[in-house]
Chains A and B, each alone.
Chain A
Amino acid sequence: MPVSLDQFVSLSSALTGVNAAQLKPALDPIGIANQYLAMINSQASKVSSTTFSALVSTFEAQVGTLGSPNKAAAFVLDDPTLGPVARSIIKMWLMGTWYDPANPGTAIQVVSSQAYKESLVWKVMQSHPMGYSMWSFGYWAQPPPAFEQFIQTSSGNSANGAN
């Protein structure tokens, strides 16, 4: 059974700590979650569909068993087979780049030009991608907006303005 977009976003939210609605907005002209899911499903990811499906099904089962997505995320991260794939997913959301799960220091590819600018690392830094700014001239003379305006956590802070 292929992993659905909703399943992938739920897993990703638990792994990154970022609200699912920020990872996959209701109005989503960019579709970065779709791109990341396609990346994992591609041969270039070096992840078999069996392993990816096992990661998702194990996570979902542990949510029921352990009672929380956070605990389920910790469970799959500790798993010797599933953990490396889960860590590559976290890095993909943060860096926009897919890393080989078997060789965690080896970047296979930047997923897309959109992935570069949509990487969560820029928001975590309360900054913007190098070479691409969604702000306007002179912003550097002002303090950056608060972290909560950049990142909506999966535990539910309000982040008006983040997307």
Chain B
Amino acid sequence: MLPVLSSDIPFDITFSGDGSLEGLQHDFDVLSWNTFIALNWPAKPNGQPDPSIQIGTKDAPTVWQSWKEAYEIFLPGGAPPSPWGTLRTAPENWPPACKALFKDGMTLLNQVGKTPNVLNDSTQPFKTGPLIDQNGRYARFEIVVNEPMFDSIVANKLYSKKGQATASSVVFPCSSASPSPGNVGAIMVKASWKILSDEEKKSGRFHTTEAIVYTPPSSSPPVAEKCELLTVGLVGLHMVHKTAGAPQWVWSTFEHVDNCPTEGETPSKPRYNFFSKASPAPSPNEPPPRPWDPNKTEPSERRVQIVRKIPIEPAQKALNDLFQAALGKVNPKSVWLNYELVSTQWPTNPAATCDVETSAPVDRIGTPAPQFLGNSTLESYIQGKVPNVSSSCMECHANATTYTSARPSNIPIFSDFTYLLERAQ
């Protein structure tokens, strides 16, 4: 039986099996897919899901794309962000030429304002390097949060350094199924986009959006400030939900099916977004050599060669087939048929309460399953299976802190698995 496609974000997993590791993994993967469907549901102008349209009937702006982007929250001077529901506007400190391109509410990709590093948002975790696609263009990223998380940031004044200096702890809200109708918990979404060629735009294989792609200026390396109005295609999507049953959050990651082949397998597709079958190709999963200039179209020898280090498991592949069949029933040409779940990371030893710092004093991370998880577009260069080195959502994000706090010496404190709070000004 095909799954029901719904615009309702699931509050938590639905137990379906025997409570074994494999059974629970399946339940979390179903949660991931249902969340993916709900967050990518066509949105009304106010950002709410439009119940009159089925997902995939046509490619349309999604629910999560109207959520608050990091640059809207952590403002220069620590100013309070505009209320939820306010249409996204161009940053105040932008040059007039960029502002002229920006239409209120549209997607803005890349960091704005005074950033110390030109590649602040075009590099990967640990500044391992940018991701350059097979067209020679640099991938771009964005991070958005949902209303419960935004409200918590605002209520606790975590958007500014001054506000954080009064914070003694950070605890984002967990979902709750009761009382009816229940509440969604804090959700973070991190998306990776590629700039599409004319051919890719026509292909119908990507969820697309018109975005202002902004490159901030830099003197070292020399990079010119630039704004471009471009069509970008979604290539990677992390969705992270703090649920009552998983206070260490549920970490779901999806990718475009054309991103890259799996290591050791024969590349079967005619073309990949981040892998070339032409020889000689650069070494796999190596960042491109410096200097990096996101304004450039890089030559073929500087385009990265990405392979998936950890194969997608048969269980996830089977679930992908099932949900893709349901999506295909709505529209056999749905763009969402071209996205697949890589896996879901979840705590096998979850904290007893939503306050992870207090209720999980020994196993803060919660012994995640699977131990390692990465997205080939978001953790391209740190895939693998080496503890503390290879990509593990929960192990890495457990190290996230605020910029400052009310604790003695104003030391940064545990920020409940988000690095966003370090951006406070």
Contact = CB atoms under 8 A, between A and B. Distances in A.
Nearest to B21: A27
B413 A150 contact: no
B210 to A, nearest CB: 39
Interface string B383-401: 0001110000001001111
Interface size class of B (residues with CB under 8 A): 20 to 34
A25 B399 contact: no
B294 interface: no
A141 B401 CA distance: 15
B365 interface: yes
Contacts of B400: 136
A28 B371 contact: no
A149 interface: yes
Interface residues of A, number: 25
A116 B389 CA distance: 14
A161 B360 CA distance: 6
Contacts of B348: 25, 27-29, 163
Nearest to B388: A132
B363 A163 contact: yes
A30 B387 CA distance: 11
A155 interface: no
A43 interface: no
A25 B349 contact: yes
Contact of B362 (A28, A29, A30, A145): A145
A35 interface: no
Contact of A27 (B24, B387, B414): B24
Nearest to A138: B411
A77 B21 CA distance: 35
A137 B414 contact: yes
Contact of B371 (A27, A29, A136, A161): A29
Consensus secondary structure, chain B interface: loop
Contacts of A113: 386-387
Interface string B345-371: 000110010000101111111011111
Nearest to A116: B387
A136 B357 contact: yes
B367 A163 contact: yes
Contacts of B368: 29
Contact of A29 (B21, B352, B359, B407): B21
A138 B407 contact: yes
B408 A141 contact: yes
Given A27-B348, A27-B349, A138-B411, A162 B369 contact: no
B412 interface: yes
Contacts of A134: 362-365, 395, 398
Given A136-B399, A163-B362, 13 more contacts: A25-B349, A29-B348, A29-B368, A29-B369, A136-B357, A136-B398, A136-B400, A136-B401, A138-B401, A138-B412, A138-B414, A141-B408, A162-B363
Interface of A: 25, 27-30, 113-114, 116-117, 123, 131-132, 134-138, 141, 145, 149-150, 160-163
12 contacts: A27-B348, A114-B387, A117-B388, A132-B388, A134-B363, A136-B357, A136-B414, A137-B412, A141-B408, A141-B411, A149-B361, A163-B362
